[in-house]
Structures are given as structure tokens and as C-alpha cells.
């Protein structure tokens, strides 16, 4: 559908560009048929320049439509071009068209216009440097594409949720509690990003529990594996694993690894896994081992030194 829209826009722009080119070519001939002292003669150059400027903008729109239709195609094994790059291409093409139109309007070469616009951009850039930093960070995020819309991500020290929108200045997330979070792109680019939806939506999580030494390791593993066979929330095609973490007189610690289909189902998966294991242990009469906690050493009381 996106391709069809861009193709339709490109065809309309192509027809408009052809009409403007023909108008520029035949306008001078039409004005040449008029008398030299005719009232319309002074309008020849302004009309021609306006038509050329309009043709430049139409050509920019046509090039952007053709490039977008080509680059937005989804090919097997290749990622589509991020939308922010297509927007950047649009800005670049229309900026060139604007410079060409200003050159015709003020009858100056591009060097003088670029010099004046450079000074204006420098002043504006200093005044809105935070906005520029967010925008450049948004472009970098669009090029690197560490996440896409719909991915579940954790941005360290900032937020965790599902990507709702990736804009020029900000990225919007919806947390697991349906809270809307808006983050500046410059802050995101400085943090560690964990994407739970890449390269695939499913990933492996784990839970640890300590059982008494009286229960043999082989029986404990078989007990937990049999209990998790009834789990409906975890991935079916990848069976869970039970690994031995530590062995000591206080108890044996096991790590139960299971696959979560997608990040928003992680709480449900953990709840079901622990619930099934708890029910199997209680049915067997097994009580979790009580791991002793190390108490902090008491600080010795000290008396202040007497002044000499």
C-alpha cells in the first residue's frame, strides 16, 4: 500500500513537472508575440522564474517519491530503510529546491545565499542546541536502528516498555502498566539499550530456588521438568531446562530456564512456572531449604582520644 501511494504521488509529480517544463519553454515564445511596449512584457521574467522555482520543488517531490518507493521495499534478509532517513532525504531535496528558488528570486548566485543562510543557521543552532542534539541523536538512532516500533526495550536508568513512536526529537514508550513515557533521543543515545524483541520475539528467562540436600538431584530435576510439562504460557517447541547452580550443606540451588514467547508475557510465564513447581513440591512434601543470611559484623565501640 505504501508503495502504491508513493507511485501515485510520483506520477502526479511527474505530470506536474512536465507541464511546468513545457510552460517555461513556450512562455518566452508566447510573450515574444506581444508588442515590445505591452503591459505584460515586464512580467515575463518573474513568471518564468516562478515557474522554474515551482518546477524545482516538483522535481524534489518526484525524486523523493521515487526514492521512497524504492527504498521502502521489504526484501528478504534486508532491513527496510528507516523512516527518519527518508524524512532527511526529503528535507535535503527541498532545501536544494529552496536555494535554487531564492537564487532566481534575488538574482544572486548560490554562494552568497549559502553564506547568509549559514550565519542565520549558526545563530539558530546555538539558540536551539538542545533541540539539535535530540534531532541528531534521532537521526543516529534511525540509521543504527537498535529498536523498531513495537519492540519491547529497556533503556537503562530511564524506562522500560514497548516502543510506540520514534520521532525526530523524542521516542515514546508504553510501559507494562500502560504508562506513556516520552524520552529525548539525546538521553537514549547515552544509555545502554536492551531489546527484548530482537533478533526474535522469544527469549529465555530463568528462576532460581534452593531445595534441601535430602532430595536427590536427579529426582529434583525430574520433578520440576514434569511439573513444567503442563505450562501453557511458555514456548511449547523449546522444553525448559533445570541446571545445578550450587551444592552445599545448606541446600542445593537449581536454575530453571524457560522460553518466554514475547516480553509482555514474562510476568505470566514466571507466575505459572513458579506456581507449578510449588504445587509439585508441596504434593511431594518437599519444603524449600532455608538459606542462612550472613549478619553484618557489629562495630566495636571506641572512645575518643583524649587531647594532649
Query: Is the pLDDT assigned to residue 270 strictly greater than 90?
Result: yes
Rounded percentage of the chain residues whose pLDDT exceeds 90: 29
pLDDT tens digits, residue range 21-36?
555 555 555 555 555 5
- Residue 69 in this model has a pLDDT that exceeds 50: yes
Q: Are residues 220 and 171 in the same domain?
A: no
d(CA 100, CA 194): 45
Per-residue burial over 231-264, b if 16 or more Cβ lie within 10 Å, else e, is: bebbbeeeebbbeeeeeeeebbbbebebbbbbbe
Q: Using the 3D structure, point to which of 131, 164, 195 is the last residue of a domain.
A: 195
Residue 308 included in any domain: no
Mean pLDDT of the chain: 75
pLDDT of 221 > 70? The answer is: yes
Residue 209: CATH number of its domain: 3.30.70.100
| 143 within a domain of the structure (yes/no) | no
Number of domains in the chain: 3
* Residues paired with residue 162 on neighbouring β-strands, in sequence order: 152, 174
The enclosing H or E element of 181 equals strand 180-184
Same domain membership, residue 212 and residue 186: no
User: Using CA atoms, how far apart are residues 226 and 209, in angstroms rounded to an integer?
Assistant: 16
**d(Cα 293, Cα 227) in Å, to the nearest integer?**
29
Per-residue pLDDT band at 279 (split at 50, 70, 90): very high
Does residue 273 fall inside a structural domain? yes
Contact present, 136 and 189 (Cβ < 8 Å): no
Range 153-177 average pLDDT: 89
Residue 227 has pLDDT above 60, yes or no: yes
The residue with cell 537449581 is 254
More confident residue, 305 or 105: 105
3-state DSSP assignment of residue 203: strand
207 and 274 fall within a common domain: yes
Residue 66 pLDDT: 75
The residue segments making up the domain with residue 81 are 1-34+42-108
Amino acid at each position: 500500500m505504501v508503495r502504491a501511494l508513493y507511485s501515485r504521488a510520483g506520477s502526479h509529480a511527474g505530470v506536474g513537472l512536465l507541464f511546468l517544463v513545457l510552460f517555461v519553454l513556450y512562455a518566452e515564445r508566447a510573450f515574444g508575440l506581444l508588442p515590445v511596449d505591452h503591459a505584460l512584457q515586464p512580467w515575463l521574467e518573474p513568471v518564468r522564474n516562478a515557474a522554474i522555482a515551482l518546477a524545482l520543488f516538483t522535481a524534489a517531490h518526484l525524486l523523493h517519491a521515487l526514492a521512497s518507493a524504492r527504498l521502502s521495499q521489504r526484501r528478504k534478509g534486508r532491513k527496510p530503510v528507516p523512516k527518519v532517513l527518508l524524512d532527511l532525504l526529503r528535507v535535503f531535496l527541498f532545501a536544494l529546491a529552496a536555494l535554487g528558488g531564492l537564487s532566481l528570486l534575488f538574482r544572486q548566485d548560490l554562494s552568497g545565499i549559502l553564506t547568509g543562510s549559514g550565519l542565520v543557521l549558526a545563530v539558530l543552532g546555538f539558540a536551539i542546541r538542545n533541540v539539535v542534539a535530540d534531532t541528531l541523536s534521532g537521526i543516529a538512532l534511525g540509521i543504527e536502528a537498535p529498536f523498531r516500533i513495537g519492540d519491547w526495550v529497556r533503556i537503562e536508568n530511564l524506562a522500560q516498555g514497548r516502543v510506540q513512536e520514534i520521532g525526530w526529537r523524542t521516542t515514546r514508550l508504553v510501559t507494562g502498566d500502560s504508562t506513556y513515557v516520552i524520552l529525548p533521543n539525546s538521553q537514549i543515545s547515552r544509555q545502554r539499550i536492551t531489546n527484548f524483541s530482537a533478533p526474535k520475539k522469544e527469549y529465555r528467562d530463568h528462576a532460581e530456588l534452593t531445595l534441601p540436600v535430602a532430595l536427590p538431584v536427579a529426582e529434583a530435576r525430574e520433578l520440576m521438568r514434569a511439573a513444567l510439562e503442563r505450562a501453557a504460557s511458555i514456548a511449547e517447541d523449546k522444553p525448559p531446562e533445570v541446571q545445578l547452580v550450587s551444592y552445599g550443606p545448606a541446600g542445593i540451588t537449581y536454575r530453571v530456564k524457560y522460553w518466554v514467547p514475547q516480553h509482555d508475557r514474562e510476568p505470566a510465564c514466571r507466575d505459572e512456572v513458579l506456581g507449578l513447581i510449588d504445587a509439585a513440591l508441596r504434593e511431594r512434601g518437599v519444603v524449600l531449604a532455608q538459606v542462612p543470611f550472613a549478619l553484618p559484623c557489629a562495630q566495636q565501640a571506641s572512645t575518643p582520644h583524649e587531647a594532649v
